[in-house]
């Protein structure tokens, strides 16, 4: 994993940690990761060595160097506009993308054969690209892939032929990877994830904490333009000036962008798990503006609390989940965002939220995910054939 620590908010790191916690009940599990805590700098902020995170053994390795933002952006522009960039230049981009840890790769070189199976979460980072080939005879890839420009690079054509097995987060992700690599054998089961709500959730406690008693929209995750948060803020401001419905937007998570002060937009910052669940129970609607999702854990958690969702229609995965669950609406532009919020009156919110709750209870218990990961690991341990 690129990073994994005590402060883990959504995405690949949360999925990797959750799966590791489940597998730790039946096998000896070690999470190999870096000393970084954020993807923007890859600065070494976590001490190298060992710790327990969520009960799981985690080993941290230092990143060789922080991300050179100027170099990374220059290389990105080159690859974005030139489809014929040589493999060497593409791999230079991968190193600049990071996090590149010689110590982690050396560990795999020295001790990789001791592991019966090695699961790599997310295809996109240097830890996966340079680490997986070292142990490809026992490698399982959970690509967490979606339609984004880096997956068009030709270097992935060879890379996606290496893993012994694949595990997917959603039906849409598997279908996309099959389309992208139609010449390769990339089939694999859909595992998803198990969603378990805490025993006690207190919506009023969160409302009291933020001082908001009226209905509000909620976003939980990295507050970042790459997650569509800049568009969310613009869309919500436009909606609020044209409507008297939901007047507050609450953002929970680490901020990676500037947010202009606004009395109707509350920036809460990172919170603990209990507060996150309280927030999900308290909101009127959960919004997910990201156009790039292989699976949104936060959406599933909102449904687990019986909350309806409003998601970005450019994400095949999110739209597919809304269709199957009947738990939410989707939008493709600011006008549709406004209409979506207007349609979510009290009775509609209750109806969609309950449909989402039933869907998560039916499709996202840990039993299925456990069975998938164990079966794939056992097949890899049996060897080729």
Q: Tell me if 16 is assigned to some domain.
A: yes
The pLDDT score that the predictor gives to residue 9 is 47
Claim to verify: residue 104 and residue 162 sit in the same structural domain? yes
Q: Tell me if 190 is assigned to some domain.
A: yes
Claim to verify: residue 100 and residue 131 sit in the same structural domain? yes
Claim to verify: residue 170 and residue 22 sit in the same structural domain? yes
Q: Tell me if 47 is assigned to some domain.
A: yes
Of 31, 12, 14, residue with least CA distance to 104: 31
Instruction: List the 30-34 sheet strands across, edge first.
Output: 30-34, 56-61, 49-53
Phi first, then psi: give them for residue 184, nearest 5 degrees.
-115, 165
Q: Tell me if 128 is assigned to some domain.
A: yes
Claim to verify: residue 210 and residue 352 sit in the same structural domain? yes
Give per-residue pLDDT as tens, 194-228. Answer: 998 898 999 999 999 999 999 999 999 989 998 99
Please, which pLDDT band fits residue 176 given cuts at 50, 70 and 90? very high
Give per-residue pLDDT as tens, 264-309. Answer: 999 999 999 999 999 999 999 999 999 988 888 999 999 999 999 9
Q: Tell me if 4 is assigned to some domain.
A: no
Give the DSSP letter string of 51-71: EEETTEEEEEE--SS---HHH
Contacts of 269 (CB under 8 A, 6+ apart): 252, 253, 254, 255
Claim to verify: residue 174 and residue 265 sit in the same structural domain? no
The pLDDT score that the predictor gives to residue 4 is 83
Q: Tell me if 222 is assigned to some domain.
A: yes
Claim to verify: residue 251 and residue 345 sit in the same structural domain? yes
Claim to verify: residue 225 and residue 307 sit in the same structural domain? yes
Claim to verify: residue 230 and residue 121 sit in the same structural domain? no
pTM of the model: 0.88
Q: Tell me if 3 is assigned to some domain.
A: no
**Distance (Å, whole) CA 321 – CA 181:** 23
Claim to verify: residue 182 and residue 147 sit in the same structural domain? yes
Asked if pLDDT for residue 53 goes beyond 60, the answer is yes
Please, which pLDDT band fits residue 243 given cuts at 50, 70 and 90? low
**CB-CB contact of 144 with 172 (8 Å):** no
The CATH code of the domain that includes 118 is 3.40.50.2000
Of 46, 78, 50, residue with least CA distance to 62: 46
**Distance (Å, whole) CA 381 – CA 22:** 18
Give per-residue pLDDT as tens, 318-347. Answer: 999 999 999 999 999 999 999 999 999 999
Asked if pLDDT for residue 246 goes beyond 60, the answer is yes
Claim to verify: residue 36 and residue 93 sit in the same structural domain? yes
Length of the chain in residues, anyone? Answer: 385
Q: What percent of the chain has pLDDT over 90?
A: 79
Asked if pLDDT for residue 242 goes beyond 70, the answer is no
* Averaged pLDDT, 129-135: 98
Q: How many domains does the chain have?
A: 2
Determine the structural domain holding residue 256 and report its residue range: 203-363
The pLDDT score that the predictor gives to residue 40 is 84
Claim to verify: residue 51 and residue 165 sit in the same structural domain? yes
Claim to verify: residue 294 and residue 319 sit in the same structural domain? yes
Of 2, 15, 53, residue with least CA distance to 300: 15
Asked if pLDDT for residue 8 goes beyond 60, the answer is no
Q: Tell me if 6 is assigned to some domain.
A: no
The continuous run of DSSP H or E covering 382 comes out as helix 366-382
Which residue do the tokens 């916690």 mark? Answer: 21
**Distance (Å, whole) CA 67 – CA 222:** 19
């Amino acid at each position: 994993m690129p990073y994994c620590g005590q402060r883990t908010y959504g995405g690949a790191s949360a999925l990797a940690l959750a799966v590791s916690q489940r597998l730790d009940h039946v096998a000896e599990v070690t999470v190999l990761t870096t000393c970084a805590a954020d993807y923007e700098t890859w600065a070494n902020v976590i001490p190298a060595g060992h710790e327990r995170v969520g009960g799981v053994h985690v080993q941290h390795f230092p990143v060789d160097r922080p991300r050179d933002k100027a170099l990374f952006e220059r290389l990105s522009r080159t690859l974005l506009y030139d489809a014929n960039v040589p493999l060497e230049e593409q791999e230079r981009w991968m190193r600049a993308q990071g996090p590149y840890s010689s110590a982690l790769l050396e560990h795999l070189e020295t001790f990789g054969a001791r592991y019966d199976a090695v699961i790599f979460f997310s295809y996109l980072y240097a830890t996966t690209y340079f680490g997986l080939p070292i142990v490809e005879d026992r490698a399982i890839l959970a690509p967490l892939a979606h339609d984004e420009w880096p997956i068009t690079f030709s270097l992935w054509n060879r890379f996606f032929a290496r893993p012994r097995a694949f595990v997917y987060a959603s039906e849409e992700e598997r279908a996309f990877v099959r389309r992208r690599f139609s010449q390769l054998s990339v089939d694999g089961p859909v595992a998803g994830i198990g969603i378990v709500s805490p025993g006690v959730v207190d919506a009023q406690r969160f409302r009291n904490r933020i001082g908001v008693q009226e209905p509000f929209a909620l976003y939980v995750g990295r507050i970042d333009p790459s997650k569509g948060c800049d568009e969310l803020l613009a869309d919500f401001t436009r909606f609020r000036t044209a409507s008297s419905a939901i007047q507050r937007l609450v953002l929970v998570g680490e901020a990676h962008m500037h947010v202009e002060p606004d009395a109707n937009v509350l920036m809460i910052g990172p919170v603990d798990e209990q507060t996150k669940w309280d927030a999900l129970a308290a909101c009127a609607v959960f919004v997910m503006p990201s156009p790039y999702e292989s699976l949104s854990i936060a959406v599933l958690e909102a449904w687990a609390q019986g909350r309806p969702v409003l998601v970005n229609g450019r994400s095949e995965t999110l739209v597919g989940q809304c269709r199957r669950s009947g738990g939410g609406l989707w939008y493709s532009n600011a006008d549709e965002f406004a209409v979506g919020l207007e349609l979510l009156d009290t009775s509609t919110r209750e109806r969609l939220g309950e449909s989402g709750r039933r869907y998560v209870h039916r499709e996202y218990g840990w039993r299925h995910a456990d069975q998938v990961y164990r079966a794939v690991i056992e097949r890899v341990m049996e060897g080729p054939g």
